[in-house]
Amino acid sequence: MMSSNGTTSELIAISVISVIRSLGSGVQTPAVNAMIPQLVPEEHLMRFNGINSSLQSIVQFIVPIVAAAILGFGNKINQVLLIDVFTAIIAIVLLIFIKIPKHDIPKQTEKVSFFADMVSGIKYCFSDKFIRKVLFTYGAFMLLCVPSGFLIGLLIERTFGKGYIYLSIIEMIGFLGMVLGGLIIGVFGGFKNRNKTFFLAILSYAIFSIILGLVTQAWQFFIFMFFTNFSIPIIQASAMTMLQEHVAPQMLGRVLSLPIIIYTGFIPLGMMIFGPMADVISINNLIIIAGIILLFFALAIPYSKQFYKQGISKSNESE
């Protein structure tokens, strides 16, 4: 009984810590994204966001491996979690030495509550057609990428059996595609019109995901899985760059929290929608259907000419 209570207490403690950590991350990530335009010249924002996306993919891939290796040496889980504390301290110390330029923000005469501040950010997004369309398209992508991105493990099991080799290969290929995609956009920098990069990346993801749903051989599946994942960091970098370039400085933090909300909210929503459907409709067909719908969202970008032209940044307009 004591052991059961002890285990329950530990699980509750870990859950509470995870919630607190997530809350901190929810503040930190948009704050960092809002700070980037102050440090990076506008003409290099796309490159920076691409490289940043690659680094995040590398960290997400390597950290579980390192943690497993440390646990393999007989270390306790709480000792492994302390590594997170030490790395956070290192990051804070490094941040002290970074000079962040101040930008002029109109002073508020009255105190505004957190909720009112959040509502004002949402109202700002809905009042600006360009920002609204960027967020809407990005949200549609995050929702429709669920079948080809998060039901893959189930598809592999149903199509090729329960072998861990195929699952491991898929993870490796997905990681490689995202890293290379981020590095390519980091070197290339995308087109002068950010919307052109955004459009082509979503279009390629849609086309390759449709093909992914049609193939039957494992090697074909691996190839097109690579190309779908290759497009992801380019889509994310394009959307983030356009927001960083077009949102007013005093609204950056509030607006850039919305892509995080979309990412963390739409993927579970997509799983709630497509997960049960996978028991009725084949996952291959779900991937194809989602890809076709996403194809229309991609084609809508150049179709809306005014929105498409607004993708040209001010630095590129002056060239």
pLDDT tens track for 91-114: 888 888 888 777 666 665 566 666
CATH architecture of residue range(s) 2-99+126-312: Up-down Bundle (1.20)
Stretch 15-39: mean pLDDT, rounded?
76
> 312 has which bridge partners?
193
- For the cut 80, the answer to whether the pLDDT of residue 10 exceeds it is no
Nearest by Cα to 197 from 49, 41, 34: 49
**Per-residue confidence (pLDDT) for residue 2, from 0 to 100:** 43
- For the cut 80, the answer to whether the pLDDT of residue 17 exceeds it is no
Percentage of residues in the chain having pLDDT higher than 90: 39
Angle between helices 114-127 and 257-277 (to 10 degrees): 80
- Round the average pLDDT of the chain to a whole number and report it: 84
What is the pTM assigned to this prediction?
Answer: 0.86
- For the cut 80, the answer to whether the pLDDT of residue 270 exceeds it is yes
> 193 has which bridge partners?
312
- For the cut 90, the answer to whether the pLDDT of residue 159 exceeds it is no
Q: How confident is the model at residue 235 (pLDDT cuts 50, 70, 90)?
A: very high
Distances (CA, A) of 127 to 37, 180, 300, 301: 22, 36, 20, 19
Percentage of residues in the chain having pLDDT higher than 70: 88
Stretch 135-145: mean pLDDT, rounded?
95
For 47-94, write each residue's pLDDT tens digit: 999 998 888 888 878 877 777 777 666 666 667 777 778 888 898 888
Stretch 173-180: mean pLDDT, rounded?
92
Stretch 221-234: mean pLDDT, rounded?
93
- For the cut 80, the answer to whether the pLDDT of residue 145 exceeds it is yes
**Per-residue confidence (pLDDT) for residue 170, from 0 to 100:** 87
Q: Where are the domains of the chain?
A: 2-99+126-312
Choice among 10-19, 101-110, 194-203 with the minimum mean pLDDT: 101-110
**Per-residue confidence (pLDDT) for residue 11, from 0 to 100:** 73
Stretch 295-316: mean pLDDT, rounded?
88
- For the cut 50, the answer to whether the pLDDT of residue 1 exceeds it is no
